[in-house]
Amino acid sequence: MSTVSRLPGIVTTDHVFRVPLDHRAPDGELIEVYAREVVAAGREGDDLPWLLYLQGGPGGKANRPLGRDGWLTRALDDYRVLLLDQRGTGRSTPATRQTLGRRGGPQEQADYLAGFRADSIVRDAELIRRHLLGEGGRWSLLGQSFGGFCTLTYLSLAPEGLREAFVTGGLAGLRRSADEVYRAAYPRVARKNAAHYARYPQDVAVVRGIAAHLAERPAALPDGGVLTVQAFQALGLMLGSGTGSHSLHHLLEEAWVEGAGGPELSDTFLAGAKAQLSFAQEPLYAVLHESIYGQRSVDAGGTEWSAERVRKEFPEFDAEQALRADRPVLLTGEMIYPWMFETDPALRPLRETAQLLAERTDWADLYDPERLEANTVPVFAAVYHDDMYVDTAHSLETADAVGNVRAWVTNEWEHDGLRVSGGTVLDRLMRMARGEV
């Protein structure tokens, strides 16, 4: 029986669906996928079109609404919204260090998780669509970041299920290998560092001081993790959001306290670093991150810790060299490194599993370029200028390669524009769809 809840301005209904673990074996093992239906209060009985929301990630559960706020404010004017916890996340059958041990050893776990990519997410969505809307029903789709990658997969596998698609910061390079993705990413991250240090020049010395301290004495984090120099550099992930530079500065300005034996890193700073660096709430983000770029026809050799390998081509990110040369220490971005499976307690039990996924070479293709070129589903995409997470040039390349795409390039928002714009970004895309822009 579905649970119905009332929050300020909205009514939500819980749905749990049983879907095949492997859609090629529909009579095999089943897992659960959870979705939350959201409708504007007072419109529960209205015949509204559906909007499926696919969250960023990979490994990210859908947002938990507290009422009619954010982009939902705009979406609920026109749609009944379905917030999907993609397989393995949130209230769907979880895939974490606590649950994966039941699957067997690292090889069994890796084989299991290989079925948690965009193609499986899309096939889950199609089963759900047919259940809620009927065989001939179609819904609209909103894909944020990795959700946009999934949108391209949806258009490749089952475009007949879609009326229209909205993409925010998520037009993936269709034929870009993981190495190409990271070769484009490191220079973008370097630019975000430069912008941060120009905004907060005092942070140059603070970051250097913390890096020098950690080079001699890695710090223990409150969850049992270890803050090494490289882990500290990973705080650069914050620089890709609209307020991330400011949040990073506020974290850094409370980095030090005067202890009994002299200056030491403060509990406040270490707790803040832990909150940013721990994958306890989204382990699949780390475990599956590079696999979202794995495609047999593009990356036949597998991803093989691409971010780690490509980093060697950008020595400016070497903290030890920067300290010796009296240069600013650069922070990194949306990269997953093998050492994270040693420093993060939530990932340590999964390190062998992650290694096997990094070595995997039989990834199926996620996109069908020919079908996408002939696409007739209207697609409206927000492309953020100098997006730190998704390369703008790759996005525009894809916009040109996929039929029926209209792209809006903007420097008003960063990668999190959908979340922080209060509905402005979504409203712009919806007005484009209605021919008003």
- Report the relative pairing of strands 262-265 and 256-259 from DSSP bridges: antiparallel
End-to-end CA distance of the chain: 43
Q: Given 92, 120, 140, 145, which residue is catalytic? A: 145
CA dihedral 66, 122, 119, 1 (to 10 degrees): 70
CA-CA distances (angstroms) from residue 197 to 26, 55, 248, 249, 363?
A: 53, 31, 11, 10, 40
What is the three-class DSSP state of 17?
strand
Q: Is 415 tagged catalytic?
A: yes
Cβ atoms 76, 39 nearer than 8 A: yes
Phi and psi for 436 in degrees, rounded to 5?
Answer: -90, -10
Q: Is 23 tagged catalytic?
A: no
Q: Is 145 tagged catalytic?
A: yes
Q: Which long-range contacts (CB under 8 A, 24 or more apart) does 160-164 make?
A: 161/125, 161/126, 161/129, 162/138, 162/377, 163/49, 163/138, 163/139, 163/377, 164/140, 164/377, 164/378, 164/379, 164/380, 164/433
Q: Given 415, 416, 421, 427, which residue is catalytic? A: 415
Q: How far apart are CA 400 and CA 234, in angstroms?
A: 33
Q: Which residues are catalytic?
A: 145, 362, 415
